[in-house]
Amino acid sequence: MSTEVKVPTLGESVSEATIGQWLKQPGEAVAADEPIASLETDKVAIDVMAPHDGVMGEQIAAEGDTVTVGALIATIEEGSGSAPAPKKEAAAKSDAPAPAPAPAPAPAASSDDAPGGAAVLSPAVRRAVLEYGIDPSTIKGTGKDGRITKDDVIAAAKNKSASPAPAASAVAAAPAAGRNEERVKMTRLRQTIAKRLKSAQDNAALLTTFNDVDMSAVIEAREKYKDVFAKKHGIKLGFMSFFAKASVLALKDIPAVNAQIDGEEIVYHDYIDISIAVSAPNGLVVPVVRDCDKLGFAGIEKAIADFGKKAKEGTLTMEDMKGGTFTISNGGVFGGLMSTPIINPPQSAVLGLHRIEDRPVVRNGEIVIKPMMYIALSYDHRLIDGREAVTALKTIKEAIEDPTRLLIDL
């Protein structure tokens, strides 16, 4: 008796996905709630779980196929993996007598037996394993409960490349003369990013205003309180929480910057949910820190740290990225000096942060060296006037240069 495995509900407004990778092959033993396939959606990777113990049966869909919610993609057979499931495709290609059955595959190891937690690899780690061609059983995990992280895979790949290879292998791996090209199909996430960014340019009247910020006060505050803050809250005090709270002041003063256009109507929000752009292994994602106007510095820092970890491990969910009324993107972590960020539809504005560098500025008639940062606010000019955009960015600048404003809501 077989059990059908269908594409699960993927989230609000998400109706289809791509088979990113089959984690179990026909004939292999599977345990209840064990991942058997990884689906790539417009926003995140989702694992398909086995409904019960048994043997992986026929795979109806192949890797790279687009499937819809509720579609049949595989079957789970009864048994313990003692006999491989027949491969329908192979049988159709040949009329020759079937070869003797192969030895039964060993039962799947439990997460406790698998070296480095190989049985519980996250989607991001599985992609890295395939990309670098590393056997996960040879990697010692440094994550929680000994699980393998993406950094562990990259480190193993570096060690592998540093090891001297046999001469014959070196000859075989030598590239052919001339210039080569490689064509790789865009992931569903990358396709969605491309469509949304192009849509923002086509539909919104984008404009960007700039300012620069003296970071001296924030740097001094962090240096003074970082140890006490970390001891009390168990999290580091970063720059992002200062900019999030400064943005809250600006969005309260200029509600249009926190609003959006819906058809012929303007939707104003009485809450502030800030999307924080995070670099993930397969593209940029924007998880949402909700109710930033009600959170303290520690709450914001903890939320950002949690999202950063989940993005790295490929475990962000649809709920993590749903909604958002304003976005902050920090290109400074990659060394960017200045940029014109693109809004995240249907939002109407995005704040771009950049690198901090010492620059000469004039203070009280004298030239002094200060740690300066360029900040940019891109906005939809259909909804936000230039005066409003400049005022909002100026409010953020003043709050960062005088953090006391954050405490007295000024």
pLDDT tens string 298-331: 999 999 999 988 888 878 887 888 889 999 999 8
> What pLDDT was estimated at residue 141?
81
The string of pLDDT tens digits covering residues 271-299 is: 999 999 887 766 678 899 999 999 999 99
Does residue 345 form part of some domain? yes
151 and 247 housed in the same domain:
no
203 and 153 housed in the same domain:
no
> What pLDDT was estimated at residue 199?
82
pTM: 0.64
Does residue 395 form part of some domain? yes
Please name the residue that has the structure tokens 């593209």.
283
Query: pLDDT confidence of 168, banded at 50, 70, 90?
Result: very low
Q: Is the predicted pLDDT of residue 53 greater than 80, yes or no?
A: yes
213 and 295 housed in the same domain:
yes
The string of pLDDT tens digits covering residues 241-267 is: 999 999 999 999 999 999 999 999 999
Does residue 186 form part of some domain? no
> What pLDDT was estimated at residue 42?
64
Number of neighbours of residue 1 by Cβ within 10 angstroms: 7
How far apart are the C-alpha atoms of 67 and 48, rounded to whole Å? 13
The string of pLDDT tens digits covering residues 8-39 is: 877 666 777 888 788 888 888 888 888 888 88
Q: Is the predicted pLDDT of residue 92 greater than 50, yes or no?
A: no
231 and 332 housed in the same domain:
yes
218 and 277 housed in the same domain:
yes
122 and 24 housed in the same domain:
no
Query: pLDDT confidence of 157, banded at 50, 70, 90?
Result: confident
What's the total number of domains in the chain?
A: 3
Per the CB < 8 A criterion, the answer to whether 57 and 76 are in contact is yes
Q: Of the candidates 163, 184, 208, which is a domain's last residue?
A: 163
Where residue 361 sits, what CATH number does that domain have? Answer: 3.30.559.10
> What pLDDT was estimated at residue 283?
66
209 and 321 housed in the same domain:
yes
- Residue range 74-81: mean pLDDT, rounded: 79
> What pLDDT was estimated at residue 113?
40
> What pLDDT was estimated at residue 281?
67
> What pLDDT was estimated at residue 382?
94
What residues are annotated to the active site? Answer: 381, 385
> What pLDDT was estimated at residue 82?
45
Where residue 138 sits, what CATH number does that domain have? Answer: 4.10.320.10
- Residue range 211-230: mean pLDDT, rounded: 95
For 97, counting Cβ atoms within 10 Å of its Cβ (0-12 exposed, 13-18 middle, 19+ buried), the class is: exposed
Query: pLDDT confidence of 195, banded at 50, 70, 90?
Result: confident
Q: Is the predicted pLDDT of residue 102 greater than 80, yes or no?
A: no
Range of the structural domain that residue 275 is part of: 197-408
Per the CB < 8 A criterion, the answer to whether 289 and 240 are in contact is no
348 Cβ contact partners less than 8 Å away, ≥ 6 residues apart: 204, 256, 257, 258, 259, 260, 261, 379, 380, 383, 384
Query: pLDDT confidence of 238, banded at 50, 70, 90?
Result: very high
Q: Is the predicted pLDDT of residue 84 greater than 50, yes or no?
A: no
Query: pLDDT confidence of 145, banded at 50, 70, 90?
Result: low
